[in-house]
Amino acid sequence: MNAQQRFSFGGSRQEIPEPKHYRAAWISDAHLGTRGCNATALLDFLRENDFGTLYIVGDLIDIWSLRRGIYWPQQHNDVIQKILRKARKGTRVIYIPGNHDELVTSFCGAYGNIEIRENAIHVTASGERILILHGHELDTVVQNVKWLAFAGDLGYQFLLSLNPLINFVRRRFDLGYWSLSAYAKRTVKDAVSFIGKFEAAMVRYAEHYHVDAVLCGHIHSAAIRNFGKLSYYNCGDWVESCTALVEREDGILSLLNYHSLCASGRAVASTNGFSASQRQPGE
Residue-level pLDDT at 265? 41
**CA atoms of 200 and 214, how far apart (whole Å):** 11
pLDDT at 198: 87
Query: How far is Cα 213 from Cα 182, in angstroms, rounded to an integer?
Result: 26
Residues of the chain with pLDDT under 70: 1-19, 139-168, 170, 176-194, 259-283
Contact 241, 272 (CB under 8 A): no
Q: Quick one: pLDDT at residue 187?
A: 54
Output helix, strand, coil percentages for the chain, rounded to the nearest 5: 35, 25, 40
The CA distance from 248 to 8, in Å, is 10
Instruction: Quote the pLDDT of residue 172.
Output: 75
Give me the residues paired with residue 8 across strands: 254
On the 0-12 / 13-18 / 19+ scale of CB atoms within 10 A, 99 is buried
pLDDT at residue number 64: 85
